[in-house]
Amino acid sequence: MRARLAGMLMLGMIIICLAYFLRSLFTSTPEISSLGKFYLQNSYLGERSAGSPEVVTSILWDYRGLDTYFETAVLFLAIISAVSVFRNMEHREVGDGFTGITKTGIKLVAFVTFVTSASVAFHGHLTPGGGFQGGSILAAVSLLVIAGFSKGALEGNGITKDRALAIRTLGLAIITAVAFYPLLEGFNFMQNLPVYPVRIRGLLISGSLLLYNVAEFLAVGAGFTIIFLLLSLPEVRRE
């Protein structure tokens, strides 16, 4: 018994000593690279400013905007491919669904989710968030309606596959127009400042960043909605 207790005490002392000597590996602040310092110093106030206090958004849509542009194009092509694959699917029967109380709760949650998605997208150049995050949250509203009511309820309110595809195309068209417009003014492709204003009537819009976020919000929200509609089997009312 004593030998076991001594062994446990020895093991405890070893663990404490190791934790003390290894804590520097977890508590030390990593050194910021020169590229990271550039982003932090120029995102909002530097000589090559993107006009936004949100560094991540500045990187995504300004400093490495070309990469984000083609990532969005790839996602669009993926959704077009999904539309082509899921053309004809078997129907399934549906009943009356959940109770009225549950459906009312789903409506309230869907409304709050919609407001949150818009806030995340429209403030993406000011706070953490952006068009992709807001669009993903927006698509959750469609998923709530499909799960709580039915696919037919979503389509009955005008959110069909074709309309969602049109909205996504509109979002991508806005991104393309905002990206190419600087070329007409003699600047570079996707250049932000000074092509676009930093503020409009005192309101900080961070140049093209707000436009990109809004367009991405529409494109991503509509794109994921298309996927949810395609993955939901066509419905017929049960007799």
% pLDDT > 90, the chain:
38
Question: Which pLDDT does position 98 carry in this prediction?
Answer: 72
**pLDDT over threshold 80, residue 31:** no
Q: Are 222 and 181 in contact (CB under 8 A)?
A: no
Give the pLDDT confidence score for residue 48 in this predicted structure: 79
pLDDT at 209: 94
pLDDT in tens, 194-212: 999 999 999 999 999 999 9
CA–CA gap between residue 107 and residue 112 (Å, rounded): 9
Number of Cβ within 10 Å of residue 214's Cβ equals: 21
pTM check: above 0.85: no
Of 32-41, 60-69, 107-116, 173-182, minimum mean pLDDT range:
32-41
Q: How far apart are CA 135 and CA 172, in angstroms?
A: 13
To the nearest 5 percent, what fractions of the chain are helix, strand and coil? 65, 5, 30
DSSP-assigned beta bridge partners for residue 94? 237
Tokens of 43: 């995102």
State the Cα–Cα distance between residues 120 and 80, nearest whole angstrom: 26
- The pLDDT of residue 130 is 92
Domain ranges of the chain: 52-237
Position 95 scores a pLDDT of 54
pLDDT, greater one: 29 or 69:
69
92-94 and 235-237: which strand pairing?
Answer: parallel
What is the pLDDT averaged over residues 115-141? 93
What's residue 100's pLDDT? 81
**At 29, is the pLDDT very low, low, confident or very high (cuts 50, 70, 90)?**
low
Model pLDDT, residue 94: 52
